[in-house]
Amino acid sequence: MSSDSQDIRRSILAKWHETLSKYGNLFSSDSLSGTSPPSVFVGSYNYPKVFVGPMVPPIHGDTSLLDSPEKWKGKSLEEIVNFRLNLIRGIQKTSINQTDGRYIESLQEFTMSSKSTDSDLIFHKATSPSVSIDGESAPFGPIGEIKSAKFSGTSSVKSIEKIFYDKDLKAQDAVLNLYNSGIDISKIQKCFSIGMLGQKRKLVPTKWSITATDDIISKSLTDEILDYNLIDSCRVFSYEHLGNVFSVVLFPHRWIYEMIEAWYSNGILGFGSDSEDARGINHPPAIAGAYFAAKLGIVEYLSKKRIQAGVVILREIRPEYAIPVGVWQVREGIREAMKQKPAIADNFNHALLLASNKMSISKSEWLSHGNISKIIRQKTLSDFF
């Protein structure tokens, strides 16, 4: 990463140390009383025995903003990192098949809550306020091994409660049911992660549940839009936030989708991409969860407009994105892009030119690291019937 990224990380870490100099005792104790957003985290380390627990700030009141990515539009990278650092993560080692028992059941009830939940945790030893911030992984606040946990003041979301008690419903159908009920995706992901959905329930590491939820919903919406008429023009949508620049090209074509990412590492430009046609993708995407997060933002738009299109997403990750904060920012970035007024292009090549003009990378560079031109040449409507 460039010195710009390092400077940003140093600045954020320095300000966090300032906070600790004033309130360090709140982040270094063998007990914690606070109000959780509510937030729960399931780790992937040591799978299938993973570390599971609530994330709780050492403050009381409405803390929902601390773990609601859907509400973070306009927030700075520093603000979002601080949301994460202020959540103390309690953990207990648990088998992924352990979806009942007092501790997990209390976390499930807690996750169902429609409002911030009072939480009292006792740890085996005092938590350490020291945290690390780098350019590779999402930031976390202090971690403590839980001796006991007590939650109060929960108020269950009725649609989630109904799904929770329906053990005949498949996990995929449960996710779609909650989504269609208007539940935030970040909330659905937590329910999925803590083993509340489906017939054969298990705990799912948070990062896996996020991608699985995006994939399930986007796949369902893609199936729906395959029946719609093709878009009648080439349109280019753009949005920038948190050091990420997004350009979205829609063009008249039966559903094909490609996402190309570019990033800077030690002054060298790196690229990654993946794509699909109407049959979907049959392998884990080279660009991981960002692929499904972006796809979801696109197919939501197409579904709402009742249209079908070919799609190319260009994502330039600039050095200002010094600390990764999760693929939610890709989903929310694309959602915001699709709310902007699009530029209308004369044709597909013109659209790609307009899209790349928003960035510091040329059209030819994007095309050389993607596959969309080849896909368009190879595919005809007859391929899909």
For 88-130, write each residue's pLDDT tens digit: 999 999 999 999 999 999 999 999 999 999 999 999 999 988 8
Give 215: exposed, middle or buried? Use CB within 10 Å, 0-12, 13-18, 19+: buried
Distance, CA of 228 to CA of 254 (rounded, Å): 9
Asked if residue 1 has pLDDT above 60, the reply is no
Asked if residue 382 has pLDDT above 50, the reply is no
51 with 205: CB under 8 angstroms? no
Say what the pLDDT of residue 380 is.
Answer: 52
The lowest-confidence range among 38-42, 138-142, 148-152 is 138-142
Asked if residue 44 has pLDDT above 80, the reply is yes
Mean pLDDT of all residues belonging to the chain: 94
Answer with the residue of higher pLDDT: 136 or 327.
327
Quick one: average pLDDT of 265-294?
94
Task: Give buried/exposed letters for 228-251 (b at 16+ CB in 10 A, else e).
Answer: eeebeebbbbbbbbbbbbbbbbbb
Quick one: average pLDDT of 354-373?
93
Say what the pLDDT of residue 153 is.
Answer: 83
66 with 36: CB under 8 angstroms? no
Say what the pLDDT of residue 278 is.
Answer: 92
Say what the pLDDT of residue 3 is.
Answer: 54
The model carries a pTM of 0.94
Say what the pLDDT of residue 291 is.
Answer: 98
Asked if residue 81 has pLDDT above 90, the reply is yes
Quick one: average pLDDT of 149-162?
93
Say what the pLDDT of residue 371 is.
Answer: 87
Query: What's the pLDDT band for 136 if we cut at 50, 70, 90?
Result: confident
Contacts of 105 (CB under 8 A, 6+ apart): none
Say what the pLDDT of residue 138 is.
Answer: 87
Side-chain half-sphere CA neighbours of 232 within 13 A: 2
Asked if residue 385 has pLDDT above 80, the reply is no
The lowest-confidence range among 122-136, 163-177, 212-226 is 122-136
Angle between helices 171-180 and 185-193 (to 10 degrees): 150
Give the length of the chain. Answer: 385
Query: What's the pLDDT band for 374 if we cut at 50, 70, 90?
Result: confident
Say what the pLDDT of residue 287 is.
Answer: 97
